[in-house]
Amino acid sequence: MSNYNWCHGPNCHTNQTTSRVRGSGDNKVLRTIKIKQGRYNYYDRGENNVSMWDYFCNQSCLMDFIRLHLTSIVAIAPRREALETPIKVEKEKYESYRYEYGSNYSNPQRVPYQATRTTIKSVDNDNG
């Protein structure tokens, strides 16, 4: 079972690569790339087992499509409020050192000081 898609990049057929040349003699054209679905074992398959690379031959075509249709794409799932992820912020003090040079650059002094380390920790939540 082999299914194909035409690349959805709006400018795909204008890229001057030999892989796009079709026709013979004086009737040659640059044609949109034909993509075999699942041509690689993509890492990005979503819930529906579909990859964006089943629809775009390369990143340039993907970005051209997004640029052209951005308003429509965003309208599919508009974000009207910020999302938030619960976290814990832990601050811990620890002994560290810095070098002070003073006037003698060839002999820096190692000086201890109290440093603070800030760590963001995940919080278990049921909101998934």
DSSP labels, 76-123: HS---S-----EEEEEEEEEEEEEE-TT-TTS-EEEEEEEEEEEEEE-
Shortest spacing between CB 12 and Zn ion, in angstroms: 3
Query: Residue 39 or residue 117: which is nearer to Zn ion going by CB?
Result: 39
Shortest spacing between CB 71 and Zn ion, in angstroms: 21
Shortest spacing between CB 121 and Zn ion, in angstroms: 43
Query: Residue 67 or residue 98: which is nearer to Zn ion going by CB?
Result: 67
Query: Residue 6 or residue 45: which is nearer to Zn ion going by CB?
Result: 6
Interacting residue ranges for Zn ion, rule: CB under 5 A:
7, 9, 12, 33, 57, 61
Distance CA 52, CA 66 (A): 12
Shortest spacing between CB 69 and Zn ion, in angstroms: 15
CA-based end-to-end distance of the chain = 37
Tally Cβ neighbours within 10 Å of residue 65. Answer: 20
Distance CA 44, CA 53 (A): 9
Query: Residue 7 or residue 51: which is nearer to Zn ion going by CB?
Result: 7
